[in-house]
Structure 1
Amino acid sequence: GKISLIGHSAGGWLARVYMAEYGFNGVSLLLTLGTPHLPPPKGVSGVIDQTRGLLNYVEKYCPVSSYASQVNFVCIAGRYLKGESFFKNQSIKLSSSTTEGVARVDGNLVVTRKEVTLEAIDKDMDTDSDQLNSSRLRELIVGQGYKQVCGKANVWGDGVVPEVSAHLEGAKNITIEGVYHSPVGSDDISRPWYGSNKILDNW
């Protein structure tokens, strides 16, 4: 019989590379969860292609059209948090554990390490005043992560991958509300991820 391929995050586009390399005659379904399918736009200030061109390769040599008629292709995106743009006149205070994962490039705040999770940001808030601003801080940090992927900060996504990047033309695109990207920092109640028990039946 045929198999179903399920890829989370980068595993989704790696599955596309696999099918392009080894064929897809034995594959009935490719389902991706929070996969950044599209390469980041070129020429956007502050945006660094963290895949070093790999997604450009995937887009060129692993097109959906090559297997869409034979493989059921489903792209799942999470809609957990909307990001926010960081402007030059804004200032934020972060602990060293969080700032190790961010940097400034051409005046823009850039997330340079995926380990900068929402949980880490929440732990950075240690006073009542800080806690009141934690929601905005999360939106700012997450927004800069989104910007690295799709070129825009003020978009919806799963906390790591923007919704627009997790969908792909030619596939069946589904968005699940309230779903976080990773099992790291997730919980089944307030921050479920794609693999949480309460989410599994949705895909």
Structure 2
Amino acid sequence: MPLPTVILPGYLESAIAYRQLEQSLQQSGFPTLTVPLRRRDWIPTLGGRPVTPILQQLDRTVKQILQQYNASQINLIGHSAGGWISRIYLGEKPYLGRGEVQPSIYCAHPLINTLVTLGTPHISQERWTRWNLDFVKNNYPGAFYKNVRYVCVAGKTIFGVRRRGSWLAYSSYQLTCGKGNTWGDGITPIEAAHLEGAENIVISGVNHSPRSRGIWYGSPEPLKAWMQYLA
């Protein structure tokens, strides 16, 4: 029987944007819940502040689905920032954000069979996100936990150049990996979306966000390319 599956939304995104993906997974036999985030739930994390409120909601959702289906493990899907936040959740190192007194420790990797990251920037040059991403990179480099299957999905859709129509991509890629002239999904460059030791996938023509025009990672056709890796 397919494992229960949890979806963690991307930065400043709400659960409602992932309803189609959730339904598609359910129709394919995967009992699925999306962490019930609202856009305003991200406000305490702005400016590079700790993502503790998101980790807490993720933990509640994981425990809920484990109990609901009497399961010992799940699949975890993290879109965009949800991918690297999921890597914090897997870890056993105390996560103590700036200004926090009580560290968070989840050590959830025994509960996760497969972690899928969709368009996740696993590195960044942007000063507001570097503290959190450096914490992940330094403590859990690459596909860190050998008991977890890491699947990192990138999009090859827009090549960043300094001209109308691709300026946003160029700027976002440059902030993420240090160069704008590269391929990505319009927000995350391919080289930032992959991890050493993971099963790294590139899908052509997918946009970064579920709210984008056209198709994104969770649309029916791209979904076929990575759903096969779920346990």
- TM-score if structure 2 supplies the norm length? 0.58
- For the 8 Å contact 2:142–2:198, the answer to whether it is kept is yes
CA RMSD of aligned residues (A): 1.5
When residues 52 and 64 of structure 1 are mapped into structure 2, their CA distance, relative to the original with a 3 A threshold, is closer
Task: Give the secondary structure class of the aligned counterpart of 1:6.
Answer: strand
Superposition deviation, residue 177 in structure 1:
0.6
Greater relative contact order (Cα 8 A, min sep 6): structure 1 or 2? 1
- For the 8 Å contact 2:143–2:196, the answer to whether it is kept is no
Structure 1 residue runs of 4+, over 2 Å off?
Answer: 62-66
Identical residues among aligned pairs (%): 45
Counterparts of 1:2 and 1:149, CA distance in 2: 32
- The answer as to 2:127 corresponding to 1:49 is yes
Q: Which runs of 5+ in 1 are unaligned?
A: 41-47, 87-135
- The answer as to 2:114 corresponding to 1:37 is no
- The answer as to 2:196 corresponding to 1:151 is no
- For the 8 Å contact 2:157–2:206, the answer to whether it is kept is yes
Look at both structures and tell me which one has the larger radius of gyration over its CA atoms.
1
Letter in 1 for 2:106: Y
Counterparts of 1:11 and 1:152, CA distance in 2: 23
Letter in 2 for 1:166: A
- For the 8 Å contact 1:50–1:148, the answer to whether it is kept is no
Query: How many residues were matched structurally?
Result: 141
Superposition deviation, residue 52 in structure 1:
4.3
Counterparts of 2:210 and 2:144, CA distance in 1: 32
Superposition deviation, residue 26 in structure 1:
1.6
Superposition deviation, residue 34 in structure 1:
0.2
- TM-score if structure 1 supplies the norm length? 0.65
Q: How does 1:1-203 map to 2 (within 5 A)?
A: 1-20=72-91, 21-23=105-107, 24-40=109-125, 48-64=126-142, 66-67=144-145, 69-84=146-161, 86=162, 136-187=163-214, 192-203=215-226
